[in-house]
């Protein structure tokens, strides 16, 4: 993927323009499910988790102007996760639903939070892929999309999908190549930090 730092943080920079509704829409589509997972993983009900997500977006909107790329301070997604965790801690303390000990993961500093951070990163990758797939899906014919999805995501063999869809193996590889290329383009354009690596998207090497 493109290593240009301007591309990697393009969405973050656009968020600093309050009038850029498209950037905020993209950001909410990608990050809201992740913030909800953090809240629900600590026992919040759906309504409370949704309220917390809205509070997180308000806090992000107020402070994103001050965020700057800094490898020592961590990534943008880590910053968002910290906001979500802090709001969750505040909520639980107010509600007194889940008393916290000094060993609670939400109250720990790095490296104790590594496991949670890894989980958040993995969930972010899944959500970004799902978002990009949903965005480009209408641009492809049904059989083209099925050829890609069944071989690249569901890991069916090319031979089985070829027989099922009545497509040649070459047509299936072509469908995969076109869709993966489009996915990469969409992710590069929309991603705040280029989180998805070369191996995070389906690759031709995974096809049997």
Which pLDDT belongs to residue 4?
32
Whole-angstrom distance, CA of residue 144 vs CA of residue 186:
18
Domain count, the chain: 1
pLDDT category of residue 104 using cuts at 50, 70 and 90: low
Question: In angstroms, what CA-CA distances link 159 with 83, 142, 145, 167?
Answer: 47, 18, 16, 10
pLDDT digits (tens, 9 = 90+) for 40-87: 888 888 899 999 999 998 888 888 877 776 666 667 777 888 888 889
- Rg of the Cα atoms in the chain: 20
Q: What is the largest CA-CA distance in the chain?
A: 61
- Which CATH number is 60's domain given? 1.10.1740.10
Give just the sign of the alpha carbon dihedral 124, 126, 127, 128. Answer: positive
Read off the pLDDT of each residue in 2-18 and give the average, rounded to a whole number: 52
pLDDT category of residue 179 using cuts at 50, 70 and 90: very high
Question: In angstroms, what CA-CA distances link 91 with 32, 38, 86, 88?
Answer: 17, 12, 9, 5
Question: Do 76 and 119 touch, CB atoms closer than 8 A?
Answer: no
At 111, give phi and psi (nearest 5°): -90, 5
pLDDT digits (tens, 9 = 90+) for 180-195: 988 888 877 765 444 3
pLDDT digits (tens, 9 = 90+) for 115-169: 455 666 667 777 778 888 888 999 999 999 999 999 988 999 999 999 999 999 9
pTM passes above 0.85: no
| 8-state DSSP, 74 | B
Give the residue with greater pLDDT, 53 vs 14.
Answer: 53
Which residues are paired to 12 by β-bridges? Answer: none
**Domain carrying residue 116:** 5-206
Which pLDDT belongs to residue 12?
66
Does position 97 have pLDDT exceeding 70, yes or no? no
- Return the structure tokens found at 96: 């007194």
- Return the structure tokens found at 161: 């999908």
Whole-angstrom distance, CA of residue 89 vs CA of residue 94:
9
Which pLDDT belongs to residue 99?
53
Give the residue with greater pLDDT, 42 vs 204.
Answer: 42
Q: What angle separates helix 169-190 from helix 158-165, to the nearest 10 degrees?
A: 110
Which pLDDT belongs to residue 73?
62
């Amino acid at each position: 993927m493109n290593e240009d730092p301007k591309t990697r943080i393009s969405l973050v920079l656009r968020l600093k323009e309050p009038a850029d509704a498209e950037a905020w829409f993209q950001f909410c589509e990608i990050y809201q499910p992740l913030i909800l997972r953090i809240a629900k993983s600590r026992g919040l009900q759906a309504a409370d988790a949704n309220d917390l997500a809205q509070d997180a977006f308000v806090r992000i909107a107020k402070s994103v102007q001050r965020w700057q790329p800094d490898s020592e301070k961590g990534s943008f997604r880590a910053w968002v996760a910290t906001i979500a965790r802090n709001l969750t801690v505040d909520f639980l303390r107010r509600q007194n639903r889940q008393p916290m000990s000094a060993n609670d993961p939400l109250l720990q500093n790095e490296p104790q939070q590594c496991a949670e951070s890894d989980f958040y990163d993995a969930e972010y990758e899944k959500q970004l892929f799902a978002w990009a797939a949903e965005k480009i899906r209408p641009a492809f014919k049904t059989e083209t999309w099925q050829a890609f999805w069944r071989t690249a995501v569901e890991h069916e063999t090319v031979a089985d999908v070829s027989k099922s869809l009545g497509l040649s193996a070459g047509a299936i590889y072509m469908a995969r190549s076109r869709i993966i290329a489009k996915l990469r383009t969409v992710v590069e354009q929309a991603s705040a930090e280029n989180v998805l690596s070369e191996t995070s998207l389906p690759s031709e090497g995974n096809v049997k």
